[in-house]
Amino acid sequence: MKILVIQDHLRSGGTERQSVLLANAVAAAGHESTLLTLRPGGALAGTVDPRVRRAVLQPFDTGLDWFAPGLHRAARQAAPDVILCMGRMANCYAGGLQQARPESAVVATMRTGKPLPRLFRHSLRQVRHIIANSFDARDRLVAGHGVEAGRVSVIHNSLVFPADSAPARDDALRTAHGATPDTVVLLCVAMFRPEKNQRELVEIAAGLPAQGRWQLWLAGEGPALKECEQLAAARGLGDRVRFLGFHRDPTPLYRAADIAVHASRSESLSNFLIEAQAHGLPAVVYEAQGIAECFVPDATGWVVPFGDRVAFRAHLQPLLADPARRAACAGPARAYARGSFDQARQIEAYLDLFRRLAQTRTLP
């Protein structure tokens, strides 16, 4: 098969990681794989397998995610059996691609909790098939956008950074950031965008007991970073909150942390949370689309009504106070993540769908 994966830009987000993983896996399985991005460069550009054909539309980075000069020409040259649209803007172009190339199966993806642009919604009616990365996202497509259930498949995200069965704690990294053996490290790995809402984690941390041994580690980059740094300083948390920047491989962070925390306003399925589970970290999170599918609710993770800081801290307190309780979550969390988000199984689900779609050369 010839598979064309389209992504807006290879920035450091979860969808971008999944795009690279899929393109790499398609090539590794012996298929012709092309990864096309609208913008050049990006934090993940160096992670693309050499066997993947790279195509870029913008001759230089305009900073415009929507600008796609020569998109139809590039799709014609690739002559794919399947076109998988991953990025938000890529999905806006999916409907036009399907109309222009009825011989290809164009697949849109639902990987966001944000409101969908009009062109995205239009594409949902035009494409051959849609992949949702959570059951919540599928239900939103069916109930909120009138998509026929038979045109939607649910394939959860793959674990990009799977863990050993019982990884050793990274004490050297903890020490480097001022954590003692008794310090409980709260971790969030996500791009600093307003919807990821790291500032809410800072506010929650500001209400934790001042005498407790804890730190909040926030890893990532993005436009909301400076504001969060200023807020942490204003709340007097300069020695408690660590801003760790972008990590191409966050595995050492998971191995150094104790609890995963997340306060995002907009999700479909959180790569961070499934990776944290794979490393045995219990999670306390705000409610959002797909969040409860990332762990075993009330066993390896706890969902809090959005904005309820008191409840968030109340669920954190037993985990902060009791190492045995955290340890008891580790085995079930790892088992759930390995069983639900296994990379080989998820990739095969994509390839199986692509094979079935490639057999039909015209739109229904």
Give the integer Cα–Cα distance in Å for 90 and 54: 16
Q: What is the DSSP string of 142-175?
A: HHHH---GGGEEE-PPP-SS---SSPPP-HHHHH
pLDDT of residue 360: 78
Q: What is the pLDDT of residue 165?
A: 64
Domains, the chain, with CATH or none:
2-158+342-358 (3.40.50.2000), 171-340 (3.40.50.2000)
Tens-level pLDDT at each residue, the chain (364 residues): 999 999 999 998 899 999 999 999 999 999 999 999 999 999 999 999 999 999 999 999 999 999 999 999 999 999 999 999 998 999 999 999 999 999 999 999 999 989 999 999 999 999 999 999 999 999 999 999 999 999 999 999 999 988 766 667 888 999 999 999 999 999 999 999 999 999 999 999 999 998 889 999 999 999 999 999 999 999 999 889 999 999 999 999 999 999 999 999 999 999 999 999 999 999 999 999 999 999 999 999 999 999 999 999 999 999 999 999 999 999 999 999 999 999 999 999 999 999 999 987 554 4
> CA-to-CA distance for 334 and 278, rounded, in angstroms?
4
Distance from the first to the final alpha carbon of the chain: 21
CA distances from 11 to 43, 73, 81, 222, 223 (A): 5, 24, 26, 10, 13
Q: What is the spatial distance between Cα 311 and Cα 321, in angstroms, rounded to a whole number?
A: 16
**Alpha-carbon span 35 to 74, nearest angstrom:** 11
- The H or E element containing residue 302 is strand 301-304
At 315, list the tokens.
Answer: 């669920």
Only one residue has tokens 């948390």, namely 237
